[in-house]
Amino acid sequence: MKPTLLFLLALLFVSTILAAPTGPPPVQPDFEYVIISAGVTLMIWEKWKDPPHDRWWQNFIQAGQIRIRELKAQGVPAHQITWMIFSPSYETRGREDKQNYLGEITARAHSEGVKLIYFRDAQAIINHLNAGKPRDRVKIADLEYFGHSNKACLMLDYSNTIDSASKAWLHEDTFPQQLNPGIFAKGAFVKSWGCFTGESMSQKFRRVTRVPMWGVTGRTQYLTHELPVPSNGKWKY
C-alpha cells in the first residue's frame, strides 16, 4: 500500500472519530434535555440468582441523577431538564422493602430543580417526545435512558411484575410508527445506558430519526458513584 493511501485512510479514521457525537449541542434556551429512569426488579424474583439484578434499588435513579448533575455542570439550566421515571416499579419495590421510594425520588428531583414526570407505560415516553413541549420551538437536544434493555426493547419493568420478563417496554418498531419527525435538535445526543442496545435498536433509531443513538454491544454495569460502563462489549451507534 502506497504511503499516500495510508495517510488518506488514517485521515479518514481520525475524521470519523472527531465527527462522532460525544455530547449534546451547545445550550440553547429552546432545547429540552430528557433523562429516563426505568424500573428496578423485585428481590422476591432476583434473590436466588447469581448474581441478582438490582440488589440496590437506586441503580437507575442514581445514574440518572449523576447525568443530570453533569448536564448542569456543562451549563444546562435545571428548568430545561426533564426527568421521566417509571413509577410502578418503585411503588412495588418500595412496598417490598417497606420504604417510600417515590418520596425519596421526588425529593431528589426537587433538590436538582428539574422537571419530574412519573409515567406508567411506554406510550407516555412517545407522547412526551412528540408533544411534551411545542416541538416546532422546543427541540430535544439530549435523550438518555437508564434501565434494563435488550437489543430491540427498552424494558421498563424487567423482573418486577413477572420473573425475568417485562410487561412494559418500548420496542424499536415503535419509532417508525409513532415518533414524529423533526423533534430533535441538530446534533442531538441520544444514548441508552442499558444492555445490548447497540446491537439493533441504535441502528433502527438512526434510520428513522437521522440522529445517532449510542448503545452498547453486550452488557453494561451500573455503579454506585459513576455512570454505567460496558462489562463485555463496547459503545457504538
CA distances, 52 to each of 43, 122, 146 (Å): 8, 25, 18
Global pTM?
0.91
| Each residue's pLDDT tens digit, 3-33 | 444 443 444 343 333 334 568 999 999 999 9
Report DSSP state, residue 107: H
Give DSSP secondary structure letters for 22-39. -SPPSP-TTEEEEEEE-P
Q: Of 197, 232, 200, nearest to 215 (Cα)?
A: 197
Per-residue pLDDT, 22: 64
CA distances, 178 to each of 27, 117, 121, 181, 191 (Å): 27, 20, 15, 9, 19
Give the residue ranges of the chain where pLDDT is below 50. 1-20
Give DSSP secondary structure letters for 182-195. T-EEEEEEEEE-SS
Q: Where are the domains of the chain?
A: 31-236
Choosing among 3.30.1490, 3.40.190, 3.40.50, 3.40.1010, the CATH entry for 31-236 is 3.40.50
Mean pLDDT score of the chain: 92
Question: ∠201-62-190 over CA atoms, to 5°?
Answer: 30
